[in-house]
Structure 1
């Protein structure tokens, strides 16, 4: 195992783990689509979307705030038990709130989105519990910069989803079994990350005047940050995914063009998906630097990752302009070739969202959660306002996607510039108490 860790760095393992999760997702949709009746496959597709909204849309905020609080506590030599305790409590509060909401809307949700199958609703409930667990574990692992353990949660989650679904497909397709297997995968991912949390990172002994923080202060600051990040991540999902849904609704008379646009949209998002681990890997290091006032290190790390964004995003955007329409037809079966400019401009929007993925951890590290929320609020307002402009739905969607993404980046950049120039945390994660 040690030789494997030395051979493959954390970034490679993180990317590989994320790739396994992605393959499992596409495999789930493919297997259910090919082995179940159309109505059941549609219900399973709705479940897939719900699971992804609940995970990346809600509990990733718990991961980010837990990672920030963990990194900040380690930077000042404090013990982690209060952070773990408060993260668990906040996770439990989120879990209860989401379950209560699902319970309230369960009749409508089950009837309209899940084909009237209560077994699928049970799988959604299971996914809420397992998502809460895996994102909490990832937050604790990321905050300690234990990325091999983090990568293990990704890889095991994907394998635990894909293999049971393959067995079900061969032994006798059943929609509810598919759903339960997919939902349980996150739970196995959480279990895979637990060994990485066993070794102690710091000695649980307070030195006078160092690393102390009142319990209420830690709990309250984490709660405020978590609430702001939940709003921000939900709106991020809106900005990232709403356009093809609206285009499809506006092109009822031209479904082939709508399908081609949706295919191109998914295609140009591939770099964004592959770049997703950057937040988990970037946040702990810059949080420690921000906590100790080392703004030079913060800027150096952000600049390096932004250069990586340019190195990945610019070639991807060029490919979107040149071969994007062909790729959409070959890989997704699009029956209409969109103009290269349409796909290319969507690729440019993806670059902006990748930049936002880099800037957001910087804001969280400095405690500027409000800028994160404000950026996504503005982006959502711009997106919705432009999506429904009269005229060509494709032009409206492209304009909306570009303008919204740029608006998000501008707000985040302004907030981060002010944070780095000030060099202090807006809400310090540790308040020394005299001893």
Structure 2
């Protein structure tokens, strides 16, 4: 007969709790990215959509690169406190000024670089620089909210935040297209504002509440933040730098070619959405298992993650090579 303190059959579950729930939100986000790019190119043309492509990939290099580690540390710390029956509100109070400081630094750097960005990447549209900063302003609280949800095991709310971001963006650009709006700034603004929809929604339903608890020293919330920042920035750059690099180096390249390259990158990133669903649910689980001393189950979950990463990577690479060109031609006509 098993002791109540021992891991139960949950150790045999292939995927962490919450993976499928988060996966639904990520599926909506992935599909919405395709639709956003399709509608945007229908409304602005592939050449006119190029500044949006540049903004998209810069935003999704910077926002996850800097704020995903905040989300992960919040989720880990809250899950650890949850396992030892301590409230997590002091964790959030520690992380808010840290995230705000990073946001201010990024905004200042972008402002300083705005003349170059406007001329070289955004085809003279200074409003896109403003929307880029607004995008970071929106994604900072979004990642903080996601960390609260994952660390509190509110995976339904986590999925809603992700899915609502994509859905709101698509609805917004669909309305713009239907009204005949062809302003680059208006389409860029949809990227900037959509992350707040899900955050406000789950917040109004009380899903971002945390309990009072003992004070949180910096050592509790930042033990691995430096390494996480380094890894996250490199990962985000690796995933998103392609279109930006082509835009910078391809001085004679036609704008529509850069847009088409961005379309291909969006398609190739599909496997990442599958992994993110596991990552969001697994990190709090690992923190909980470590806090409870269930090291055998901890190792088992980590092994499953490694197998899943390799499997998704291989399947995604083969799939993109096999059907990628046909899908791009069908969806984007090139």
| Structure-2-length-normalised TM-score | 0.80
The number of residue pairs the alignment matches comes to: 314
1:168 aligns with 2:176: yes
Q: 1:58 to 1:329 in 2, by over 3 A?
A: same
Distance 1:120 1:262, change over 3 A: closer
Instruction: Determine the C-alpha separation between the residues in 1 that align with 2:311 and 2:87.
Output: 39
- By relative contact order (CA 8 Å, sep 6+), the higher-ranking structure is 2
Structure-1 residue corresponding to 2:286: 286
Q: How far has the Cα of 1:90 moved from its partner?
A: 1.1
Contact 1:32 1:175 in 2 (8 A): no
Gap change, CA 1:326 and 1:169, over 3 Å in 2: closer
After TM superposition, give the deviation of residue 132 of structure 1 in Å.
0.5
Please identify the structure whose Cα radius of gyration is greater. 1
CA distance in 1: counterparts of 2:47 and 2:319, whole angstroms: 36
Shift of residue 306, structure 1, vs aligned partner: 3.7
1:54 corresponds to 2:53: no
Q: Does the 8 Å CA contact 1:62/1:139 hold for their aligned counterparts?
A: yes
Cα deviations by residue, 1:17-56 (Å, 9 ceiling, x for unpaired): 1122223322222222222255532111111112212222
Does structure 2 conserve the Cα–Cα contact (< 8 Å) formed by 1:51 and 1:183?
Answer: no
Evaluate the alpha carbon distance shift between residue 288 and residue 14 of structure 1 in structure 2; reply closer, same or farther with a 3 A threshold. same
Which residue is equivalent to 1:103?
111
CA displacement at 1:112 relative to structure 2: 2.0
Q: Distance in 1 between matches of 2:36 and 2:259?
A: 20
1:160 deviates by 1.2
Shift of 1:130: 0.5
Gaps of 5+ in 1: 1-8, 206-211, 335-435
Query: Deviation per CA, 1:189-228, whole angstroms, max 9, x where unpaired?
Result: 221232353565x6x46xxxxxx56x4xx22453453333
Aligned CA distance change for structure 1 residues 100 and 51 (closer, same or farther; 3 Å): same
User: Scaled by the length of structure 1, what TM-score is found?
Assistant: 0.63
Q: Structure 1 residues 131 and 77, CA, compared in 2 at 3 Å: closer, same or farther? A: same
Which consecutive unaligned segments of at least 5 residues does structure 2 have? 1-16
Deviation of 1:281 after TM superposition, in Å, equals 0.5
Counterpart-to-counterpart distance in 2, 1:238 and 1:326:
27
**Which of 153, 164, 181 is 1:156 aligned to?**
164
* 1:236 equivalent in structure 2: 235
- Which whole-Å CA distance do the structure 1 matches of 2:32 and 2:320 have between them? 25
Q: Does 1:178 align with 2:209?
A: no
Q: In structure 2, what is the Cα distance between the partners aligned to 1:283 and 1:86?
A: 20
Q: Deviations over 1:363-402 (max 9, x none)?
A: xxxxxxxxxxxxxxxxxxxxxxxxxxxxxxxxxxxxxxxx
Superposition RMSD in Å: 3.4
Tell whether the 8 Å contact from 1:149 to 1:196 is kept in structure 2 after alignment: no
